[in-house]
Amino acid sequence: MFLFDVASRHMEWLALRQSVTAANIANADTPGYRARDLAAFQEVMDKSSLALTQTSPLHFESGSSIGTGSRLVRHEAWDRSLSGNDVALEAELMKAGETSRMMALDSGLTRIFHRMILTSLKV
């Protein structure tokens, strides 16, 4: 069931990234606005410890749970306008497409593993 927890946290991170990307696109013409992005999901996972669930004293001991340490970071600007705005619509749309593809992949993999577990329980 740990797989579903990681997939759920990744989907939460993707939803947050999508909202940050949408805010960047919405403020593309706002003078002085600086584009933002989230720290990579890999960084979030590196800062958290992965834990096993101990259901028997013979199993490994469990550690702490995964943290939700998503943080905003400054976006690397492609270019900056005269008004000081550094939102590049092309880059933001590429991020939105990448995030959408990752969401589809996560939900597809979760669905497949869910079916696999249900099939194993029917036996």
Residue type, 105: L
Cα separation of 50 and 33, whole Å? 37
Q: Is 84 exposed, middle or buried (0-12, 13-18, 19+ CB in 10 A)?
A: exposed
Does residue 29 carry a pLDDT above 50?
Answer: yes
Please give the Cα distance from 7 to 109 (Å, whole number).
Answer: 9
Q: Is the pTM of this model over 0.75?
A: no
C-alpha closest to that of 7 among 119, 107, 100? 107
The mean pLDDT value of the chain amounts to 78
> pLDDT tens, 41-98?
888 777 766 555 566 666 554 443 434 455 655 555 555 556 778 888 899 999 999 9
Q: What is the Cα–Cα distance from 66 to 61, expressed in whole angstroms?
A: 15
